[in-house]
A and B are shown apart, each in its own frame.
Chain A
């Protein structure tokens, strides 16, 4: 088998943990797995790896109860993201399977893309993550078109109007899924809309935390 990221051959190792029960096969070679940094401790509310206690951003009250991020957004991850999201290499999402938790609670709501962005990119990266979690993506939200978040400053992001619109009444515990958590503004805006429309609780899951 070839590594899904660097196309080098993968040599799965056999040890006592998988000798009798083969685990989930990794699509990444060992070198590429080591390129990513798993977040082990951080802000208890948003997983910000720079803090060990609640970070300043999370002290304010918001509709988003908590967020889980899996990996630190280092240079290796940035390159991965550039190829996955901006170049559109959809297959790369399979490389994340080694890092995902085996089970997560709640109905998954992927952060939607605006129609313009979706046409440009061809797929919604948050939906790809949802499918990898083996959950049904719930289309509870819509998004109006605005400038890319990545090109705005923190202040601009916070001041900006909420781009999310509800599609239907919702209920139950929801899980917002996105690719990256930067300031949390996107997640918090989406959570606020869901909460207003009847969600009991809203949590978040992202691959990366920058």
Chain B
């Protein structure tokens, strides 16, 4: 029950005696105890009826209930977990490179260390963590797989359920209330991690360099707080930033099917309707990336195709329809830039010189193409008005990774 989580007074069920729980003040030294927020403009005061004073509250995690300076935050103790032996029911095989990384991950899990796994897009990161998870579960560890993107959680959940059919797992993303029943495996967005307090023995953070995790200190703080002090922490990424320097690394340079990454081609900015070639032709689906929501809408209107962005209400249905090939062309913002797999797509980036497309984002976007073994290639095009550093760096990075994969 609520094991290893922070609970507000109003979230406590009636049958739990709050006086028996360790209580912490909600805000200590201008820092929210739950989400680690320290930013001044994300705190505010309100006239609190319960205590008659103007109390401070945190506006950063307000959607999970209000943390105030005068009310306590209750800490539910972590319950211990029985070992689950032989849980992995996945019967694929790992490539040589994957196996190497998987062994490293397993050793890190058993040795309680830290590890950065740098694997190119489509290297099969998810499969590489399976042996590590199995080892952790066999020892009775609670495992969390966190990622900054809700779409990635949604895609990861069925794959984990398939690989570990006997293990209860939970998927947490925006708009959920506290997790009631205990599960040994938790999939969560990094935002939802702030509900947890020293709950996990193994924390796997996927896409560590993704927005908003890579430059949000409060999210990084919550991730550390959610893991036990001696937990094994594994970072997965396809585009490591410059920050993670002093932790051991392992590099997987080749995609699981052994084919090189598609190298993007540069094109001059076209008038969208007249110049974009073969919209309806070909077996491959087409994924068009636009820099902003309003651009995505105008492009979709011009091409008469559906679009998704972070505010689309039926986002999940549209993405599912695209995955099931009911939609041929989809316009999207950067929400689909990483962590999602469509078997056979061409990728066009409109206005690739825009600020939102940094090097990491462009490498990730290019990595959406050619992910299946049946169709290992894809047409990646960057449309822009002029080359930017990010665009060139992205192409160079892709070329460099291809080179490293085939020399060794």
Give A114-144 as 1s and 0s: 1 = Cβ < 8 Å from B's Cβ atoms: 0000111111100100000000000000000
- A20 beta carbon closer than 8 Å to chain B: no
Instruction: Report A169 CB to chain B, min CB distance, Å.
Output: 26
Chain A window 90-108, contacts with chain B (Cβ cutoff 8 Å), 1 for yes, 0 for no: 1100000000000000000
Chain A residues with CB under 8 Å of B45's CB are 90
Q: Known contacts A7-B41, A7-B42, A120-B10: does B49 contact A89 (CB below 8 Å)?
A: no
Q: Report chain A residues within 8 Å CB of B44.
A: 89-91
For the complex, give the distance between the alpha carbons of A2 and B60 in Å: 13
Could you tell me the distance in whole angstroms from the C-beta of A48 to the nearest C-beta in chain B? Answer: 26
If A88-B57, A91-B44 touch, whether A124 touches B63 (CB-CB below 8 Å) is no
CB pair A91–B59 under 8 Å, yes or no, is: yes
B50 contacts A89, CB within 8 Å? Answer: no
Q: How far is the CB of A81 from chain B (nearest CB, A)?
A: 13
A50 interface residue per 8 A CB criterion: no
The reply to whether B57 and A90 contact each other, CB–CB distance below 8 Å, is yes
Inter-subunit contact A122/B62 (CB<8 Å): no
Q: Known: A89-B59, A89-B62. Is A119-B46 also a contact (CB below 8 A)?
A: no
The verdict on A87 contacting chain B, using a C-beta distance below 8 Å, is yes
Interface residue total, chain B, C-beta cutoff 8 A: 17
A83 is an interface residue with CB less than 8 A from chain B: yes
Our pick among B41, B50, B59 for the contact of A122 (Cβ within 8 Å) is B50
Q: Are A87 and B10 in contact (CB-based, < 8 A)?
A: no
* A123–B49 CB distance below 8 A: yes
- Could you tell me the distance between the alpha carbons of A187 and B218 in the complex, rounded to whole angstroms? 43
Main secondary structure of the interface of B (DSSP, over half): mixed
Q: List the B residue with the shortest CB-CB distance to A84.
A: B62
Q: Does B47 contact A (CB under 8 A)?
A: yes
Complex Cα spacing A175 to B62, Å: 31
Given A89-B62, A89-B66, verify A122-B42 contact (CB < 8 Å).
no
Given contacts A83-B63, A88-B62, A91-B59, contact A119 B42 (CB under 8 A): no
Distance in angstroms between the alpha carbons of A124 and B42 in the assembled complex: 21
Q: Out of A2, A7, A122, name the residue touching B48 (CB < 8 Å).
A: A122
Which B residues are CB-close (under 8 A) to A118?
49
Contact with A along B49-62 (1 / 0, CB 8 A): 11000000101001
For residue B46, which residues in chain A have a CB less than 8 angstroms away from its CB? 88, 90-91, 122-123
Chain B 335-367 near chain A by CB (<8 Å), digits 1 or 0: 000000000000000000000000000000000
Q: Give the chain B neighbours of A123 by CB distance below 8 A.
A: 46-49
A122 B49 Cβ-Cβ under 8 A: yes
Neighbouring A residues of B59 by C-beta, 8 Å: 89, 91
B65 within 8 Å of A (CB atoms): yes
Chain B contacts of A120 at CB under 8 A?
10
Docked pose: A120 CA to B41 CA in angstroms: 25
Point out the residues of chain A lying under 8 angstroms from B48, CB to CB. Answer: 122-123
- B65 contacts which of A87, A90, A91, A124 (Cβ < 8 Å)? A87
List B contacts of A121 (CB < 8 A). 49
Set of chain B residues within 8 Å of A119, measured between Cβ atoms: 49-50
Cα–Cα, bound, A123→B55 (Å)? 11
User: Which of chain A's residues have a CB closer than 8 A to the CB of B66?
Assistant: 87-89, 122
Closest partner residue, chain A, to B294 (CB atom): A31
Which residues of chain A (1-55) have a CB below 8 Å from chain B?
2, 7
Query: What separation, in Å, do the CA atoms of A121 and B47 have in the docked complex?
Result: 11
The answer to whether A124 touches B62 (Cβ under 8 A) is: no
Nearest Cβ distance between residue B219 and chain A, in whole angstroms? 14
Interface centre among B41, B42, B45, by most chain A C-beta atoms within 10 angstroms, is: B41
Distance, CA A88 to CA B59, complexed state (A): 9
Residue on A with the closest CB to B293?
A: A31
Q: Report chain B residues within 8 Å CB of A2.
A: 41
Cα distance A7–B10 in the bound complex, in angstroms:
27
Contacts of B49 in A (CB 8 A): 118-119, 121-124
19 of the cross-chain contacts (CB-CB < 8 Å) are A2-B41, A7-B42, A83-B62, A87-B63, A87-B65, A89-B44, A89-B62, A90-B44, A90-B45, A91-B59, A119-B50, A120-B10, A122-B48, A122-B50, A122-B68, A123-B46, A123-B48, A124-B49, A127-B47
Given contacts A91-B44, A120-B10, A122-B49, 6 further A-B contacts (CB under 8 A): A87-B63, A88-B46, A90-B47, A119-B49, A122-B46, A122-B50
On A, residues with C-beta under 8 Å from B are: 2, 7, 83, 87-91, 118-124, 127
Closest 9 CB pairs of A and B: A90-B46, A91-B44, A88-B66, A89-B62, A118-B49, A87-B62, A2-B41, A122-B48, A123-B46
